[in-house]
Every structure is written in C-alpha cells, then in structure tokens.
Structure 1
C-alpha cells in the first residue's frame, strides 16, 4: 500500500511539473524537433506564424511516414514559412496533418483543432499534440530524429511511474 501511495505522489508531482512548464519552453523544445525532421528552420518566437499554413506540418508527417500526406498545398516560390496561402488552403493542410496524426497513433483526446493553430486560439493544445506525436515517434518511428524535449521527458517519467503503480 505504501508503494502505491508513493507512486501516486510521484505521478501527482510529475503532473504539477508538466503544468508549470511554460508554453515558451515547450515551444522551444518542439521547434528544433520540427526543424531537424523537415529541414525548415522554425524560430520559436515565430512558431505559430511559421506553422499556420500547415505546409511544414505536412512535411513533418511525411518525414515520419513517407507519403502519409501524398498531396498538400505548398508554395511554388519563396520561403515555406513566409508564404501565405488563402486561409482555407491553410486550414486544409492543418486538417491533413491532424488526420496523419490519427494514423500515426495520436489519440483523439490529444489532438488539436485547426483553429487552435490557425487562429492562434489554443496554441498550448497544438503544442501538446506535437509532444504526444514526438513521444510516439520515439518508440515507434526510430528514424525520426530527436524529440520534443521537456515534455517528452516528463511524459516518459510519468509513464514509468504509472507502470510501477500497475505492476
């Protein structure tokens, strides 16, 4: 019984730590992971602006699993992260990424809505999806480089504690 209480306390502490990690820190751990796997430099202060077209996200999904998104809107010229599409094309790209996340194993409860990124209405939810995707990649897609850092480590620690509780 004491072991169960100790494990529950550890889970509670891990959750509290995760909640306190600032969004900026979480973005700073996601941006390099995206850059490393797409070849597109993502600057944390411009994170939402650079990803809102969905193009880089589709590239990320295809880096994780080849051609999981066979066709998506991309710029003909210029920088991928600076090109602005019509809003509906951007939202369509984001929806394609969300569908790819489902196929890659991200649970529905961990998915963001297109408006969370596109309208910047819940960037924390979007970042959470990336963190979950990164964690899945670490265990199931070994060719994917790196991880989304801070949260991936916290999630792994929480999973280890959970295993101890259940065993």
Structure 2
C-alpha cells in the first residue's frame, strides 16, 4: 500500500474499520502454521512481523499459499508461478482462492485477490488461512492444523410412522393468533389525538 495515496471520507472510515479487525496474534499463528507445513521460512521486510503490512509482504507473491494448498490437497494447483511480475503473483493468489473453493471452502470464507495483493483486507486473508486449517483437519490431513473443528453432518432418517405421528402435535412454534388485531392502529398521515 506504499504506492497508494491517503484515503479520505467514507473510504478512510471503511479502511480504518477493516484495519481494526486485523488480529496480529491470529496472523502470527497462521504464518507459523504455514512455515511448519511447507518448511518455507516466511520473512518480513523489517525483520519481524509487526503489523498487517509485514504479513502482506510475506504472503504477497502467493507462492507459500500455493505450496500450502498442494501439501494439504495434493495436485490442487498445477503450476506455481515463481516470477516477480505482478500479474503472475496475482495469478498465484487467484489459483489459491479457487483451490480453496474447489476443496469445500465457502465463498464467504475466502478473499479477493486485492485483499492480499494490495493489503485491502488482511483480516479476511488470515481468516481464510484459519478456515483452510479447519478444512485440512476435516479432510484427514495428518500434519499440524489450526482453526476450529468443523462439524460433521448428522443426517437423520425417520420412518413413515414417525412422520405421521409428528403431524399430530401442534407446538407453540406455529404461533398464536391471540391479540392479533389492528385496534389502535392509524392510517399513515393521520394526526395523533393527544
């Protein structure tokens, strides 16, 4: 974001809200996990990871994310670009996001390419990495994982007799019509009598 000018007004307010959602502890946990799984040493330009811009610089080329995906879900990304050209780095990020979606991640848990490449919303990037750790655990990845444990499906089968018996019960969830009148309601624009 060094090449971007300052933002003002609503754009500034939105950017400040987005920056406030970033949690450095979660980011360090995600970076440590990537290093453990890939064996790659992620480095910050300033030596230590101090803020979201350091995290962005470490992940910006997308190579570490693609390697991580290929270790967890082998063959997910066919070719990882090692070029320093911007469009190749963006392509790596896009391939990672598409691989996440193909392997069961919901769209809401992923991020846009610019969220990482331009550092627009780094908290969504970190949330996506944590969600990938959860998917890895559910897929049976035997290495170290992060993120919450995802729930398993609990499909239930009911017999025809059970379904018929359930129709005999009227629960309060169906609601009640007691007190459902329009007494005291006035039409829009009518003056109030005081």
Query: What's the TM-score once normalised by structure 2's chain length?
Result: 0.59
CA RMSD of aligned residues (A): 2.4
Distance 1:59 1:53 in 2: 12
Structure 1 residue 123, shift from structure 2 partner? 0.2
Aligned residue number for residue 12 of structure 1: none
Shift of 1:74: 1.5
CA distance in 2 between counterparts of 1:140 and 1:73 reads 26
Runs of 4+ in 1 over 2 A off after TM superposition: none
Once residues 144 and 34 of structure 2 are traced to their aligned partners in structure 1, the CA distance between those partners, rounded to angstroms, is 9
Task: Report what 1:68 is aligned to.
Answer: 76
Contact 2:116 2:125 in 1 (8 A): yes
2:133 alignment counterpart: 134
Once the two structures are superposed, what CA deviation does each residue of 1:36-88 show, in whole Å capped at 9, x if it has no partner?
1111122571321111001111111101111211112025xxxxxxxxx1111
Give me the whole-angstrom Cα distance separating, in 2, the residues matched to 1:128 and 1:121.
Answer: 14
Aligned to 1:146: 144
Looking at structure 1, the residues matched to 28 and 61 of structure 2 have their Cα atoms a distance apart, in angstroms, of 19
1:51 match: 59
**Runs of 5+ in structure 1 lacking a partner?**
1-19, 76-84
Counterpart CA distance in 2 for 1:121 and 1:57 is: 18
> How far apart are residue 21 of structure 1 and its match?
8.7
Using the size of structure 1 for normalisation, the TM-score is: 0.68
Higher relative contact order (CA 8 A, sep 6+): 1
SS of equivalent to 2:82: coil
Go from structure 1 to structure 2 and tell me whether the alpha carbon gap of 1:135 and 1:86 turns closer, same or farther (over 3 Å shift): same
For the pair shown, the structure with the greater C-alpha radius of gyration is 2
Contact 1:95 1:114 in 2 (8 A): yes
- Structure having the higher helix fraction is 1
Contact 1:57-1:97 at 8 Å conserved across structures = yes
- The alignment of Structure 1 onto Structure 2 pairs a total of residues equal to 126
Please state whether the residue corresponding to 1:31 is helix, strand or coil: helix
Gaps spanning 5+ residues in structure 2: where?
A: 1-19, 155-194
Secondary structure in 2 aligned to 1:146?
coil
